[in-house]
Amino acid sequence: MSGTKDKVVAITGASSGIGEATALLLAQRGAKVVLGARGSDRLKALANRIATMGGEAVYAITDVKLRGDLSNLVGLAIERYGKLDVLVNNAGVAPISLLDELRVEDWEEMINVNLRGVLYGIAAALPVFRRQGFGHFVNVISTAGIQITPTMAVYAATKNAVRTITEGLRQEAGDKLRVTGISPGFVSTNLADSMTDSEVRSQINDQMNKMAIPPAAIARAIAFAIEQPAEVDVNEIVIRPTAQV
């Protein structure tokens, strides 16, 4: 089966940015989207927007730091639609800073959301995919892990850990499951809002204002991977603004 029509796609971090854009695009193309994020108001508004445009969406409050929340999100897909075709592990935070600042709580937050959150998603969906005999993981990574820069050491480390897990999962997946890593560069999202260092946040926002591409560009890359025939596994996509070095 190819295309997105009638596929059931669960998305973490779905209430804004890349997650929101992906939900909207896939719903427009006929997918049934299962939305997970921490903010209930934004989730409800997005689900209503999708319904208004003729799409189908359900949602569950989801904190990816909590394994049970990922299990509930996957369970909602199964309960409502009887299957799960795709899990998009998208939720992420980036309270970046120089290591000298010793913002240990920020390091822990990135590890818990960016890394543990993906592992919890895999733990929730992998048994379902095995039982079904089909399934697709799409893990949103980052170009920050490809080109390491000051302030981004821990953030890049979490993303490179996800890159490693993604490749290991791909090799273990067998011939029925698909695994895709998507590495965006600067994207116009609210990711900088999670940055606790005001100077760094200002610098990142300035860079975003100069070159960031819209979240819809990443959504199209995710849709491309999902739409391929079942025997085609798009393993990795790196997508940056043309102006980004």
- Are the CB atoms for 137 and 166 separated by under 8 Å? yes
155 counts as catalytic: yes
Q: How far apart are CA 42 and CA 125, in angstroms?
A: 24
HSE at residue 47, side-chain half, CA atoms within 13 A, is 19
- From the candidates 59, 81, 120, 155, give the one annotated as an active-site residue: 155
Give residue for tokens 């992420």: 92
Q: How far apart are CA 135 and CA 86, in angstroms?
A: 6
155 contacts: CB under 8 Å, gap ≥ 6: 94, 96, 110, 114, 142, 144
Q: How far apart are CA 151 and CA 229, in angstroms?
A: 40
Catalytic residues, which ones?
155
